[in-house]
């Protein structure tokens, strides 16, 4: 999936494009879908994942299946980090 960072509201000085890509490519990431349909055909996801440099991030993004457009990104909370680590340990 291609990452679309044109007109993104995310502060790219806090998160590098490479870090955002790494979270999208993280094989142990956890992706959540909201339970409502969107009129524009895109699907909105919420995701927690980790970068190669062990930075834990929460992201919200839209996807049409070909491109992902980042809506928001932040550091994970402690409870989200614990949840991610438990899921990661299940797959190791």
**pTM, to two decimals:** 0.84
The CA distance from 18 to 52, in Å, is 10
Phi (first) and psi of residue 45, to 5 degrees: -120, 155
What does the chain come to in residues?
Answer: 92
Tell me the pLDDT tens digit for each residue of 3-44: 888 888 998 889 999 999 999 999 999 988 876 777 776 788
Average pLDDT, the chain: 89
pLDDT of residue 46: 93
84 and 48 Cβ atoms separated by less than 8 Å: yes
Q: What is the pLDDT of residues 33-90, one digit of tens each?
A: 876 777 776 788 899 999 999 999 999 998 877 888 999 999 999 999 999 999 988 8
C-beta of residue 73 within 8 angstroms of C-beta of residue 84: no
DSSP E strand stretches across 1-92? 2-4, 30-32, 43-50, 56-63, 67-75
In which domain, by residue range, is 17 found?
2-91
What is the total count of domains within the chain? Answer: 1
């Amino acid at each position: 999936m291609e990452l679309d960072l044109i007109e993104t509201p995310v502060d790219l000085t806090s998160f590098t494009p490479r870090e955002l890509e790494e979270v999208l490519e993280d094989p142990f990431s956890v992706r959540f879908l909201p339970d409502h349909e969107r009129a524009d055909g895109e699907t909105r996801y919420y995701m927690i994942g980790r970068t190669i440099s062990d930075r834990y991030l929460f992201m919200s993004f839209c996807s049409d299946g070909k491109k992902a457009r980042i809506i928001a990104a932040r550091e994970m909370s402690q409870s989200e980090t614990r949840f991610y680590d438990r899921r990661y340990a299940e797959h190791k």
